[in-house]
Amino acid sequence: MSFKRLFSCWIVIFLIPLFAYGQGGDRTNSVKAKGVISLDKVHPGGRFQVAILVAIPQGWHINAHIPSLDYLIPMELKFEEKPGLNFSEVIYPPPEEKVFSFSNQRLAVYGGRVIIGGIVAVSKDFPTGKRILRGKFSYQACSNQVCVFPAEVDIDISIEVVGSDQPVHQINREVFSQLEATRAEAHYNLGKRYQKEGLLDKAIGECEEAINLKPDNPHYLSTVAELYYETGDYDKAIATIKKAIALTPEDGFLQRQLKKFREVDGKGH
């Protein structure tokens, strides 16, 4: 038997008792999830935000959307496709990084209350009337000692599409203000993860999204400058690191980055 097969068998043998323990009727690990939207009514040709409110019981956690280890099961939100409704990519908030008894490395997880968001665009010819947006929230709950079997929560969200002559009003303002505050950091963290995986184009795209939301964040600017440098776009790297330096001129690291970029570029910008 190869080492790889032996290792896989060891994982299965190790996990079975953990899952079995979690299936023993203890419902304290039950994760709750429900969906809300940002408008009371929606116009054809308009857009609205969706938020999924996730409540994780105390003492339990769920893995991040991009888990730290390949064999960990990610949290994921998927909506059913519906003609005339275009769902943007789901934005997951920044996870926490914690160490647990079953792992020597820090794991990206969520605990407590989590808000996941996205934007839905409505086609101009979308018919008026009431509709249901249906989705599934999937996850695996774990404590510091055990994991339960992966589970799903059905998400049903009611929307009402009305004519453009009818007024619409914002609702759930507190939820969406919290969601907005985490969007930039979520893009940035995803960009950093793509950078570690060597997916530099994706990393640049996510970091640029973060900068669009928070253009005066020197950390975001510094990271995307380094990504430009890694992809050979030295002019952009230099211009971007200068923006970061203008925000925090006393930061010696940024000055060293500028020197490094200039040395490779050779143009003395």
Angle at the Cα of 73 from the Cα atoms of 154 and 104, rounded to 5 degrees: 145
State both tokens at 30.
Answer: 């039950």
What is the rounded distance in angstroms from the CA atom of residue 46 to the CA atom of residue 48?
7
Q: Which residue has the tokens 């992809």?
A: 231
| Dist CA 31 CA 78 (whole Å) | 17
Please give the Cα distance from 149 to 122 (Å, whole number): 36
**If pLDDT is split at 50, 70 and 90, which confidence band does 12 have?**
very low
pLDDT digit string, tens, across residues 135-191:
999 999 988 888 889 999 999 999 999 999 999 999 999 998 888 778 888 788 888
Residue 17: both structure tokens together? 């008792």
- Residues in the chain, overall count: 269
pLDDT of residue 147: 84
Q: Annotate 97-134 with DSSP letters as a single string.
A: EE--TT-SS-EEEE-SEEEEEEEEEEPTTPPPEEEEEE
Distance between CA atoms of residues 96 and 105, nearest Å? 13
Residue 56's SS3 state is coil
Q: Which residues pair with 79 in a beta bridge?
A: 135
Ordered structural domains, the chain, with CATH: 30-171 (2.60.40.1250), 172-269 (1.25.40.10)
Can you give the pTM of this predicted structure?
0.68
pLDDT at residue 248 greater than cutoff 80: yes
Q: Which backbone phi and psi does 234 adopt, to 5 degrees? A: -70, -35
**Using the 8-state DSSP alphabet, how is residue 158 labeled?**
E
Which structure tokens are listed for 259? 């020197």
Average pLDDT over residues 186-208: 89
